[in-house]
């Protein structure tokens, strides 16, 4: 079983934090993620800095990053202006996201689902012309903070319309962390039946279901999983949205199952502690607090002895 981990901590992880990190610190986070072996990084967000000040200076962040050839550096966009900025900044991959409910679409990016679908088709064409990989994320695919539960049929209806000008990848996002494995199974299998080229999933751990959902997604055919070091994350426009699944927690489970990711788990645990220091708080990653334990491997596939954080004390 193969999986691509996309770490979204420089974007989703930081966009809802009370402390705004400088472009230099954010670039250092991106550098450390790449050094730990993360193959894809959502490095920046090309959004209005007046609305999301934590994401200001996206171009500066990318200018400060010394890019590794084997790493994909992606940028999130919410509209055509953001797409233009992303192309000018020479991102490797454009991530366009929109909610599948009109109320959240209006709150999050002042649009409607119908308009967002039309824009997705236009951006897919523009990305193809420029030979830039294009990913679409369907936000609130499992539940909306304003409209409640979202039916799988409605999500699949939106996905089917996108197939008129299909993206390279379609991601299901549980923006407020309400989804459970049975929903994941229905949606991932539904996308596969529609002929979606590559399926990804983005889970938040608001109700402690993210790792179970991620494993289910893989078993049903998803190829990409988003995660955020330390379990940081949340949406400024989605009430009660918790953090993303922690990259460390997800890696521990995948490596324990014998699924190689190419990412150094010990390095990610250390990185989570470093990021917590930058943000001035302890991050929620459970593996970050408890440490690793055999038979989980650093990058998956081999065995190692238990390792605990240096600060851990017996009680």
Query: What domains does the chain contain, in order, with CATH numbers?
Result: 4-290 (3.20.20.70)
Q: List per-residue pLDDT tens for the chain, 315 residues long.
A: 789 999 999 999 999 999 999 999 999 999 999 999 999 999 999 999 999 999 999 999 999 999 999 999 999 999 999 999 999 999 999 999 999 999 999 999 999 999 999 999 999 999 999 999 999 999 999 999 999 999 999 999 999 999 999 999 999 999 999 999 999 999 999 999 999 999 999 999 999 999 999 999 999 999 999 999 999 998 887 777 789 999 999 999 999 999 999 999 999 999 999 999 999 999 999 999 999 997 675 787 543 434 445 443 333
Looking only at the bridges linking them, the beta strands covering 93-99 and 4-7 are unpaired
Using DSSP's 3-state secondary structure scheme, residue 51 falls into: coil
Hey, how many other C-beta atoms are within 10 angstroms of the C-beta on 1? 10
What sign for the dihedral angle of Cα 183, 254, 205, 16? Answer: negative
* Helix axes 113-129 and 102-109, enclosed angle (nearest 10): 60
pTM to 2 decimal places: 0.93
Give the pairing type, strands 148-149 and 143-144: antiparallel
Catalytic machinery residues: 235
Beta-bridged to residue 73, according to DSSP, are 41
Rounded distance, CA 245 to CA 243, Å? 7
Kindly report the number of other CB atoms within 10 A of residue 302's CB atom.
12
């Amino acid at each position: 079983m193969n999986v691509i981990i996309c770490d979204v901590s420089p974007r989703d992880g930081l966009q809802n934090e009370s402390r705004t990190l400088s472009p230099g610190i954010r670039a250092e986070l991106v550098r450390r993620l790449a050094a730990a072996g993360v193959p894809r990084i959502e490095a920046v967000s090309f959004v209005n800095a007046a609305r999301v000040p934590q994401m200001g200076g996206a171009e500066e962040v990318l200018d400060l990053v010394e890019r590794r050839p084997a790493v994909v550096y992606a940028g999130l966009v919410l509209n055509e202006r953001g797409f233009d900025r992303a192309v000018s900044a020479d991102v490797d991959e454009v991530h366009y996201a929109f909610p599948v409910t009109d109320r959240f679409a209006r709150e999050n990016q002042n649009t409607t689902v119908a308009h967002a679908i039309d824009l997705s088709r236009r951006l897919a064409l523009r990305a193809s012309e420029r030979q830039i990989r294009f990913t679409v994320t369907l936000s609130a695919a499992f539940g909306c903070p304003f409209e409640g539960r979202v039916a799988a049929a409605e999500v699949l209806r939106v996905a089917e319309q996108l197939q008129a000008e299909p993206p390279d990848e379609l991601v299901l996002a549980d923006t407020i962390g309400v989804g459970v494995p049975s929903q994941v199974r229905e949606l991932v299998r539904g996308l596969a039946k529609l002929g979606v080229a590559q399926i990804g999933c983005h889970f938040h751990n608001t109700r402690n279901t993210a790792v179970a959902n991620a494993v289910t997604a893989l078993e049903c055919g998803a190829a990409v999983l988003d995660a955020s070091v330390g379990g940081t994350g949340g949406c400024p426009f989605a009430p009660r949205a918790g953090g993303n699944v922690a990259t460390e927690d997800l890696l521990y489970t995948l490596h324990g199952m014998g699924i190689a990711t190419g990412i150094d788990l010990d390095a990610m645990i250390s990185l989570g502690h470093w990021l917590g220091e930058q943000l001035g708080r302890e991050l929620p990653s459970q593996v970050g607090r408890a440490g690793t334990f055999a038979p989980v491997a650093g990058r998956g596939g081999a065995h190692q002895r238990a390792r605990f954080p240096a600060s851990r004390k017996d009680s």
